Amino acid sequence: MKASGPDLPGPEPLDELDRYDRQGRRSPLDEIADQILGEIRERGTYRRMRVLDGLQGPRMVVDGREVLLFAGSNYLDLARHPEVVEAAVRGARDWGAAAGGSRLITGNLQVHVALEEELANFFERPAALAFNTGYMANVGVIPALVGPGDVLVSDALNHASIIDGARLARCEVVVFRHGDVESFAEVLGRVRPKARRILVAIDGVYSMDGDVAPVAEIVKRAHEVDAMVLLDDAHGTGVLGKRGRGTAEAAGVLGEVDILMGTLGKSIGSFGAFIAGSARLRELLVNTARSFIFSCALAPAQVEAARVSLRLIDSEPWRRERLAENCRRLRQRLAASGISTSPSTTHILPVVLGENERTMSACERLLERGYYAQGIRHPSVPRGKARLRITPMATHEESEIDGLADAIIDVFSNEN
């Protein structure tokens, strides 16, 4: 059966053999699934996964059709860099296909230690600790720092991993208006007298809007009342800042963020995540972060690939420059035809269409023209804010950027 997209609505055929047990009774599990999935279909937010084939890069095969890819997070196109791929091969050859256990038992390989030392040096912090995913990093670090009696002050558009980390911590959560420094200051002043500890959590780049948090002001005001700051810079790492150190570097506060979280699987082109901060923070996480303690260590191939990518971010700054230029070109081409990508100022460009059906129709029509820009709906974005989420890469050619712009403009003009 041909695969459909992750946000493509419609029923999915069920295997009738799975609907009844050997005595002919209806499976309780299937009854639960059918009820919940039925409700999801009625809301028009049913999801399926597309199938991609080929080397990760600007052009791939999506659901059997060769297209230009504008829907990924391999922003700098390092995932297919020959040196990165060779490092992964070497890591598997020298260390095996798996680490063989959790870091506290048998999985703490020399390559993990080397990666963490290099991450710490890269971000000019005393120490770093690798996690398997950014999600696991956030749900590990938040409960390690706050709990009942404490407060997490959170931007209204923070990533789901921050929300879930706060739930696991069982701390109070107080939300401020997205990107609003005055709202943040008001919330901070209100919670300071009653909170034992305060952890402020923000994204660096917001993954669906493409705007950047007011990092410098958040850090300044948080530290004035002895609050800690967690910066989730999954989408800024490697891309923003003069040297690719992310939104904190761009804001001039790289050394002032208490807890820096980043991923290895986006611009760094490998897999995994990390927390960078003080040596005492690392020690605390090794001893208390459940998502670290109870997980197998990263595979050596991914670790070695990430180490090479960090060096390439320094030695090939043209990738950041080309990415920025590609985004500028696309943004200007669309704006000239009245198509807004606001509030984005980065490499994530949203085109908000509002309605789910309209958004997914535009996504499919672009795919037919040879461009994959994924449609995003609730719960990834608020209801009524469905959008195309467009993510150019550093290695897209100008003609490819122009072709995408023309295709989007054509899709919009045919709607009106």
- Which residue in 81, 159, 266, 385 is the catalytic one? 266
Question: What angle do helix axes 398-415 and 318-336 make, rounded to 10 degrees?
Answer: 30
Dihedral of the alpha carbons of 200, 165, 118, 277, in degrees to the nearest 10: 30
Task: In whole angstroms, give the CA distance from residue 217 to residue 213.
Answer: 9
Catalytic residue among 4, 161, 207, 344: 207
Number of C-beta neighbours around residue 252 at 10 A: 12
| Closest residue by Cα to residue 91 from 57, 114, 122 | 114
113 is written with which tokens? 């230690």
Catalytic: 266? yes
Residues 6+ apart with CB under 8 A from 331: 341, 344, 349
- Nearest 10 degrees: Cα torsion 69, 75, 81, 84: -130
d(CA 410, CA 333): 12
Q: Is 235 a catalytic residue?
A: yes
Q: Which of 235, 347, 385, 396 is catalytic?
A: 235
Q: What number of residues does the chain have?
A: 416
For the beta sheet containing 375-376, the strands, ordered from the edge strand earlier in sequence to the opposite edge, are: 349-354, 386-390, 375-376
Query: Which one, of 247, 253, 250, lies nearest residue 222 by Cα?
Result: 253
Which residues are known catalytic residues?
207, 235, 266
